[in-house]
Chain A
Amino acid sequence: MTDGPKKIIKDITKGFAKHGYICSEQIATAVYLASELEKPILIEGPPGVGKTELANTAALYFKKEMIRLQCYEGLDESKALYEWRYGKQLLYTQILKEQMQEVLEGAKGLKESLDRLMKFEDIFFSEDFLETRPLLEALTSEKGSVLLIDEVDKSDEEFEALLLEILSEFQISIPELGVRKADVKPLVVLTSNNSREIGDALKRRCLHLYIPFPDAKLERQIVQARVPEISESMQIQLVNFVQGIRELDLKKLPAISETIDWAKTVILLNSEELDAKLAEDTLNVLLKHQQDIEVVKKEIPALVSSATETSDGKSLN
C-alpha cells in the first residue's frame, strides 16, 4: 500500500460525498478499516441516521454489486443461505426410476447391480438443484460485493449463530456439498436498531460503529447535499430547530431522514422563512407520535425564536 491510511480515509470521505453521503471521520475510518481488514462491520444507532444508506453508498463507491438481506423474525437458512429446488428434485427421482431400468439391464446378480448403481452418477444434491439465496450469492459473487444484512436484531438468535461462520471465515458449509469459500471476500455491513442485545459472539467478529445523531454542522452539510435547492438561511433554521427538538424528552426523536423529508416539504410549500405556523403545520413530517407532537407544539415558539436567532447570528458572522 503506497497511500497512507489518512489519505485513503480522506478519499473515502470525498468519494462518499460525491454520492450524496456526508460522513463523519469516524464513519470514514470504519469503512476504511472494514475494507482493509476484510472484517464485517456492525452499525448501530437510532433509526434514520443513515445506517442502511452507508451500505448503499459503499457499494457505489467500491463499484461492487449490492446484495441485501432484510432480517425478520422467523428468517431461516432456506431464505438466507440456500435452498434446494424441490420440484425439480422430485421430478429427478421420477426420471431416475425409469433410467434405473436401463442402468441395471443385463446385470447378473445383486453384486453387479450394486456396483453399477454405485458407478452411476448421482446429482440429487448438486449445484444443479441448488438455489442460492443472498448470503451464498454474496460469497460466490466473482467481482466481490457489498453484503448488507439489515436489522439483524430483528432476526432470531439461531440466525445469528448461522451468521458466525460466514462472518469469521467467509464460508458456508452445505452438508451435502461441503464447504463453499468466498474467492473474493464481500464487504459485509450489518445494521441493528438495538431492539434486542446482539450476542457477544457476533459482536466480537465485527468492527463496531455507532452512528449518533449528527451535530448541527454535519447535519447542515447533509441537508445541503441531499436537498441542494434549499436556501442557506432556511437550512440553518431547520437544522437548529431539529437540534432543539432532540433536546426534548420524546418517544421518538427525529432523525436525519426526517430532517431531509422536512426540508423537502418546506421546499414544496415554497416557504422562505421558518415561523411558528409553518412549523406547526408541518410537524407531522418530523414527528411520528401524536404524544410527541403535543409535547413539541407547546415548545414551538421558543424553538422557532432560538432557531432563527442563532441563524441570524451566524449569517452576520
Chain B
Amino acid sequence: MEKVLTDFVKALRNSNVRVSPAETIDAVSVIDSVGYEDKELLKRTLSIVLSKTPDEKDKFNACFDDFFSDEIKQQVSVDMDQLSDIKDIDSDLAKKLLEGSQGELMLSIADAAEEAEIREIRYFTQRSVFTRRILEKMGVGKLEDELMQLGSSREDELPSDLEQELRNQLTNLRERVSDYVQQQFLLHGDVSGEQLREQIFKSMNMAQIDRSYLNEVHSLVRKMAKKLANLHSRRKKNFKKGKLDIRKTIRDNWVNQGILFNLSWAYKKVDRPKIYVICDVSGSVGAYARFMLMFLFSLTEVVSKLRGFVFSANLGEVTNDFKDAKLDEAIEKALQKHGGGSTDYGQALTDFVSLCLDEIDNKTTVVILGDARNNFGPEKAHLMKTIKERSKQVFWLNPEGKYRWDTGDSVMTKYSAYCTKVFQCGNIDQLERVVSTLLKTAI
C-alpha cells in the first residue's frame, strides 16, 4: 500500500505541491491510524499532513480526486457454459476479459503501457494517443473484428449474450485504460505545465512576451524578488544604545566577579537596502516598459525603503501609486501619466537631482532602467557624476543587447562611465542575476 502513497506524493510534486520526505513519512504513520477505507477521511487527513498553504490545498484536492478516482468496479461473473457461441471467439483479449481476474487484467494493461512507453508522456494532450496505443497493444483491433463477425453472422435482431458481455467488457476496458493513462500522466507529466512555461518565460526576451501572460510573468518576477529580498535583508547590526540585554551582560561580566563592566544591548538593527529606481517608459523602450515597471512594482512589494520614478522627459514619482495598488492598474496608470513621449535623459536627471539629491546618502543604491537613447539631446552626464559621488552605488540596467549600445542615439558609454556597474537585462534570467547582485551589495 505504501507504493500507492509514494506514487500519490510523486503526483502531488508534479502538480507543484512541495512534499518533503519527512512529510511523506508522516503521511504513512497517519494512514496507519486512519486507514484507506474512508476516502473522505483519508482526503481530509492527508490534506492536513501534506499541503501547507491554501494554494497547495486547492492543488491537493484536485490531485487527490484525480488520483483516487478509479474505484474498482465489481465484475459480474458470467456463467461461461451458458454462452453457446463461445467457440467462435478465440482472441486472447476476449478470453482475458471473460475469464481473467481483475488483477490479471490490470497487469496486462500495465504491460501494454510499458510497451507503449507511457513514461514518455509529458503533456495532457498526449493522453488520448497513449490510450489508443495501449488498447492496440492489448489487441483490441482483433477483438473488434471478431465482434463485427459475430454481429453480422447473427440471425435475430438482438445481440447474443456473449456479444453483449464482450461489448460491456470492452467499454469497461477502455475506461480502465484511460484512467490508467490519466494516473500515469499525473506521475510522469508536467501536470500544470508550469515548469515548462517558467522555463520558456525565463529565457525569452521580455519585449516578446505576450501581454496576456503578464500575470504569470509577474508572479515569476515577484517570486524571484521575494526570495532574493528575504535572502539578503537579514543582516543585522548591534545597537549601541536602547535596552540593556541583561542576560548577555551578566554572562559576559561573570568573569569580572559580577561587576557589570561591559554592557550589551538588546536591540538589533535590521539593515534594509534603501533603493531609488528610475525607470524609462518612453517610446523607444515601449516594448520593455511594461516589464520594467513590473519589476519596479515587484521590488516595491518586497523592499520597504524604495522609491520609484518614471520618465519620458519629465520625471514623476510613482512610489505611492504602486503601494496598495493592483499590478495592471498601477502599470497602466504610470504609462498613461508618463509614458510614450520622446526621451530626454538630461531633463529626467535634472528632475531627479532637484527632487531627491539631498536624500541620497552613502547607503543608497540608485538603479536606472533604460536604453540610454537620448534623441541626440544634451545628456548632462555630470549629473550622473553627482549622483554617483553621493550614493553608495549606481546600477544601470539596459534592456538592449550589448551590441546595440552606442549605436544611433544611444549614449550608454557616456553614462556608464559614472555607473558602478552596467547590466544587460533583456530577459528574466538576466534580471534575476541583476537583482541578486543588487540586493547583495545594496545592504
Measuring CB to CB, which residues of chain A are less than 8 angstroms from any residue of chain B?
Answer: 1, 5-6, 9, 25-26, 29-30, 33, 36-37, 39, 41-42, 44, 74, 76, 78, 83-84, 86, 89-90, 93-94, 97, 124, 157, 197, 200, 203-204, 206-210, 212
Contact = CB atoms under 8 A, between A and B. Distances in A.
B49 interface: yes
Interface of B: 18, 20, 22-23, 26, 29-30, 33-35, 38, 40-41, 44-45, 47-49, 51-54, 57, 226, 234, 246-247, 250, 254, 257-258, 266-267
B432 to A, nearest CB: 19
Given A5-B41, A86-B250, A30 B48 contact: yes
A207 B258 contact: no
Contact of A78 (B45, B226, B247): B247
Given A6-B38, A90-B258, A33 B48 contact: yes
Nearest to B34: A5
B36 to A, nearest CB: 12
11 contacts: A29-B41, A29-B44, A37-B29, A44-B53, A86-B247, A197-B226, A203-B52, A204-B52, A207-B26, A208-B48, A208-B52
A86 B54 CA distance: 45
B52 A33 contact: no
B38 to A, nearest CB: 7
Nearest to B248: A78
Contacts of B258: 89-90, 93-94
Given A26-B44, A26-B48, 7 more contacts: A5-B34, A33-B49, A41-B48, A93-B258, A94-B258, A206-B52, A210-B57
A209 B54 CA distance: 9
Contacts of A9: 41
A111 B20 CA distance: 57
Nearest to A39: B26
Q: Which of B35, B51, B53 has the most CB of A within 10 A?
A: B53
A197 B302 CA distance: 12
Contacts of A200: 18
A29 B38 contact: no
A84 B234 contact: no
Summarize A's interface: helix, strand, loop or mixed.
helix
Contacts of A208: 48-49, 51-53
B52 A25 contact: no
B54 A36 contact: no
Nearest to A1: B33
Contacts of A124: 254
A88 to B, nearest CB: 11
Contacts of B247: 78, 83-84, 86
Contacts of A204: 20, 22-23, 52
Nearest to B40: A25
Contacts of B44: 25-26, 29
B43 to A, nearest CB: 10
A89 B247 CA distance: 11
A6 B52 contact: no
Contacts of B34: 5
A177 B278 CA distance: 56
B257 A97 contact: yes
B142 to A, nearest CB: 48
Contacts of B38: 6
B234 A157 contact: yes
Contacts of B52: 42, 203-204, 206, 208
B37 to A, nearest CB: 9
A6 B35 CA distance: 11
A78 B247 CA distance: 8
A93 B26 CA distance: 49
B54 A44 contact: yes
A99 B49 CA distance: 58
B41 A207 contact: no
B22 A207 contact: no
Contacts of B40: 25
Contacts of A5: 33-35, 41
A39 B52 CA distance: 14
Contacts of B54: 44, 210, 212
Nearest to B226: A197
A251 to B, nearest CB: 10
A79 B104 CA distance: 64
Nearest to B29: A37
B272 to A, nearest CB: 14
A6 B34 CA distance: 8
B26 A37 contact: yes
* 3 pairs of A and B residues whose beta carbons are closest in the complex: A93-B258, A208-B52, A203-B52
A37 B20 contact: no
A13 to B, nearest CB: 13
Nearest to B49: A207
Contact of B246 (A29, A86, A207): A86
Contacts of A93: 257-258
Contacts of B30: 33, 37
Contact of A33 (B45, B234, B254): B45
Nearest to B266: A76
B12 to A, nearest CB: 14
A133 to B, nearest CB: 12
Nearest to A36: B33
A174 to B, nearest CB: 12
B257 A6 contact: no
